[in-house]
Amino acid sequence: MLVYKFGGASVSTIVNIKNAGEILRTQPNNHPVLTVVSAIGKTTNALENVAHAYYSQDIQQALDYFEIIKQQHLNIAKDLLTNELINCQNQLLDFFTEVEWLLHDKPVRHFDYYYDQIVCIGELLSTSIFSHYLTEAGIENTWVDVRDILRTNDNFREAVLDWDYSAQQVEQQILPLFQDSKIVVTQGFIGSTTDNESTTFGREGSDYTGAIFANLLNAESLTIWKDVPSVMNADPKQFDFATPLPVLSYDEVIEMAFYGAQIIHPKTIKPIHDKEIPLLVKCFLDPALPGTVISKIKTKIDTPVVILKENQALIKFQSKTYDFVGEQAVSELYLLMKKLFIKPNMTQIGAINFTGVYDHISDKVQQLALEAENLFDVQITQGLQMLTIRHYQPQIIDTLTSGKQILLTQKTNETIQFLMQ
Ligand code: ASP
Ligand code: MG
């Protein structure tokens, strides 16, 4: 058994969808393949706009945004399909109707609930088109609504999987399907609660879905098909010295993801690590390229691995009373962070202050600062960069920090980090 995950880019055009189909058709040894697919291109972002417009009760705007998404999917289906077109259109129309009904209701629950009910459609649409395309191309497959398989709690937008229940469903519902066809197509990123409400695993969560299935099916490997040749030691859009890393250990990848490398969703590693399932990162544009193999084998890395995170905010929490910032004050701060679902990327504790560095992506930083003002004097510095270098060497540190003002440095034998301006 193999698990393949196709990302949004790999189904974003007619050419790419056909190409993904060829990858399935020509996969060696004719293995059964559980195929997890993301939403097409930037559909999830577009659906987020629908959700926001709906929640602020700008219904016309929400419908207008949704209309664009509908047309895009119908157009792709029309360009791609002939025999299967009507079947596919009917399935797409059912999903459209589900969302449109919801858009006409007044929101009475919290935003995250509606977000998941609307945004989950992206993967249902993409898999419907993909599965019908495979059928039309003579590649036998079965489409599955993953919400019947992966059960989660109701922590909308950051749902937690019920492993035992989901394992049972995989056993009872997924495994028998492979008797009829070698390929099962299902959605990444989404699941459902006991009450059949849709949930999502957090942005970019389809990788995680791939890892869940690999774990539950005891797959031979999980392959993530991307538009890059392999995992690299730096983001090639940011650094021209970026080079491929052909082999990596789970430990290295989990660290890279933790420090902010945009390679694989951080939650992906644990489910495959626990069963020692190798993770292959391959390029869908050229499947012959070797890509990257990630496994338990620890290899020595000679190339520095560089991760640059923009848009960082530093918050300095200073004791109001000149008392030490001890375990009491620190635990209160962490409780506050837990309440706001905000996680520091870097921390430092001094005698009378605590410093935290955070992604400045929403109003959460402001909220944290505001709520902490009862306890501390608070000072925020915005617009910073966090540079992390693993397996660092003096020369690369000099190159990457030259001309920068360093606000904070942290160093272990393996990793050095700079907060810079
Ligand atoms: N479609 C979702 C997103 O864009 C999940 C994924 O692509 O992994 O976040
Ligand atoms: Mg994606």
- Total domain count, the chain: 2
351 and 255 within one domain: no
User: Does 188 contact ligand 1 (Cβ within 6 A)?
Assistant: yes
CATH of the domain at 379: 3.30.2130.10
386 and 246 within one domain: no
Ligand 1 atom 6 nearest Cα: 204
Q: Which ligand is nearest to the CA of 10?
A: 2
321 and 288 within one domain: no
CATH of the domain at 39: 3.40.1160.10
Category of 253 on φ-ψ map: left (φ > 0), alpha (ψ -120 to 50) or beta: alpha
Q: Which ligand is nearest to the CA of 204?
A: 1
Task: Give the Å distance between the CA of 96 and the centre of ligand 1.
Answer: 19
249 and 191 within one domain: yes
pTM attached to this predicted model: 0.91
Atom number in ligand 1 closest to CA 45: 4
The residue ranges of DSSP E strands in 29-116, in sequence order, are 33-37
Ligand 1 atom 3 nearest Cα: 204
**What are the pLDDT digits (tens) for 96-136?**
999 999 999 999 999 999 999 999 999 999 999 999 999 99
pLDDT in the model for residue 139: 95
User: Does 8 contact ligand 1 (Cβ within 6 A)?
Assistant: yes
pLDDT in the model for residue 155: 95
Residue 45 scores a pLDDT above 90 = yes
268 and 237 within one domain: yes
Atom number in ligand 1 closest to CA 208: 8
Of 169, 170, 167, 160, nearest to 208 (Cα)? 160
Pairing of β 346-349 and β 305-319:
unpaired
User: Does 74 contact ligand 1 (Cβ within 6 A)?
Assistant: no
Task: Give the Å distance between the CA of 152 and the centre of ligand 1.
Answer: 17
Residue 170 scores a pLDDT above 80 = yes
C-alpha 42, offset from chain centre:
13
User: Does 190 contact ligand 1 (Cβ within 6 A)?
Assistant: no
65 and 167 within one domain: yes
Ligand 1 atom 8 nearest Cα: 204
Domain assignment present for residue 344? The answer is: yes
317 and 248 within one domain: no
107 and 232 within one domain: yes
C-beta atoms surrounding 343 within 10 Å: 12
Task: Give the Å distance between the CA of 38 and the centre of ligand 2.
Answer: 6
60 and 202 within one domain: yes
Domain assignment present for residue 300? The answer is: no
Domain with 66 in it: 2-295
C-alpha 97, offset from chain centre:
27
Task: Give the Å distance between the CA of 8 and the centre of ligand 2.
Answer: 5
329 and 194 within one domain: no
Q: Which helix (H) or strand (E) holds 55?
A: helix 43-55
State which amino acid sits at residue 270.
Answer: K
Residue 180's pLDDT band (cuts 50, 70, 90) = confident
Residue 22's pLDDT band (cuts 50, 70, 90) = very high
Q: Residue 321: which residues within 8 A CB-CB, separation 6 or more?
A: none
